[in-house]
Amino acid sequence: MYNPHLNTFLIVANTGSFSKAAEQLYITPSAVIQQINALEAQLKTTLFLRSNKGVTLTRQGAYLKNESIEYIRKGKEIQERLLAIPDSEHALILGTSLDEKCRVFYDFWVQFTAQAGRYAVEMQTIDTRFPLPAEIDMIEAVNIGASWQKQLQFLELCRVPYGIAAARDHPLYGRKVLCYEDLKEFTVIIQRAEENRADLARIREDLRRHGVACIERNGFGSDVVWDASINHQLLVIPICFQDVIFDMAIKKMDWEHDVPYGFFYRPEAGGLQARFIAFVKEYHRNHPEITSRLTAAQS
């Protein structure tokens, strides 16, 4: 992952001698000199001042020494991680988080392995605020048009309705289906529409048009859920997130707002990943009920 002559360069720089570096590397001094000459030719600069007393770094050489240590460390780290990535023909790596959970993946995976044979599947925790690790093959999630999602292919499995979450002691907790009239005496929290979230913008406008008071918050962390619970506020949230909203129930709302749900995968998908995606497309076409629980509100 890096120029092997850099290692020789660092040993020479630390020992101040071609011969001492040769002793550590178990090669001849002439071989050390050839490597340093090749490195200087490649970089088009002089790294060492030679004398009968040994060698000293030039200003360029001192700079390269400082930068090379981190460069070599990073190169070795990349190489180790590269070797640790399972063979794409025999393993599938899924990225998961609190929101990007595997809600239906295993339903498909069990059926796939029953037909195709046994393969390995691994989970790796991700944080979608940062670049996705290169080894991630798939992510199961709602498609909100986030920046990380635009880098991947998307296989839509269903459309998940947005619902209204109410705490256990909220007056609307016992209701099965809600309408705009039910919401008018309460405050509804809606996630701030970032990254061109047209779906949330439409819901916000719809609520206000029907005379429902709503406020925007950044995301739905534990602080937002806690505030909603103690202040008798309601949350607008996809029904499938019932498994991450504790002590609240997401009720079906009498509207047409929903969001796509499915698998995100690499555009260059090949091997096991490509075969699994092809299987999911066919199997779901014949068994659409496999995603039905994602669209069912809690009673």
Where residue 36 sits, what CATH number does that domain have?
Answer: 1.10.10.10
pLDDT of residue 217: 85
Whether the model pTM is above 0.75: no
Lowest mean pLDDT among 42-56, 71-85, 234-248: 71-85
d(CA 101, CA 95): 8
Tell whether the model's pLDDT for residue 161 goes beyond 90. Answer: yes
Angle between helices 5-15 and 18-25 (to 10 degrees): 130
Write the burial class of residue 180 (CB in 10 Å: 0-12 exposed, 13-18 middle, 19+ buried): middle
Tell whether the model's pLDDT for residue 194 goes beyond 70. Answer: no
User: Pick the residue with more confidence: 105 or 247?
Assistant: 105
Alpha carbon separation from 16 to 9, 51, 61, 147, 289 (Å, rounded): 10, 11, 12, 50, 72
Which one of 84, 107, 125 terminates a domain?
84
Alpha carbon separation from 8 to 59, 69, 80, 215 (Å, rounded): 18, 12, 21, 62
- Three-state secondary structure call for residue 23: helix
- What's the average model confidence in pLDDT over 80-108? 79
Are residues 180 and 210 both part of a single domain?
A: yes
Tell whether the model's pLDDT for residue 83 goes beyond 60. Answer: no
pLDDT of residue 196: 56
Show the CA angle centred on residue 33, arms to residues 27 and 36, nearest 5°: 110
Considering only CA atoms, which of 132, 144, 138, 97 is closest in space to residue 257?
144
Tell whether the model's pLDDT for residue 213 goes beyond 70. Answer: yes
pLDDT of residue 184: 94
Q: How confident is the model at residue 212 (pLDDT cuts 50, 70, 90)?
A: very high
Tell whether the model's pLDDT for residue 89 goes beyond 80. Answer: no
Are residues 164 and 255 both part of a single domain?
A: yes
> What's the number of CA atoms in the CB half-sphere (13 Å) around residue 137?
24
Domain ranges, residue 251: 159-259
Tell whether the model's pLDDT for residue 88 goes beyond 90. Answer: no
Q: How confident is the model at residue 247 (pLDDT cuts 50, 70, 90)?
A: confident
Are residues 51 and 68 both part of a single domain?
A: yes
13 in any annotated domain? yes
> What's the number of CA atoms in the CB half-sphere (13 Å) around residue 15?
17
Are residues 196 and 58 both part of a single domain?
A: no
Q: How confident is the model at residue 84 (pLDDT cuts 50, 70, 90)?
A: low
Considering only CA atoms, which of 176, 151, 150 is closest in space to residue 163?
176
Tell whether the model's pLDDT for residue 74 goes beyond 90. Answer: no
Are residues 141 and 287 both part of a single domain?
A: yes
pLDDT tens per residue across span 115-148: 888 888 889 999 988 888 888 999 999 998 888 9
b (16+ CB within 10 A) / e for 33-52: bebbeebbeeeeeebbeeee
Mean pLDDT over the full length of the chain: 87
Which one of 84, 107, 133 terminates a domain?
84
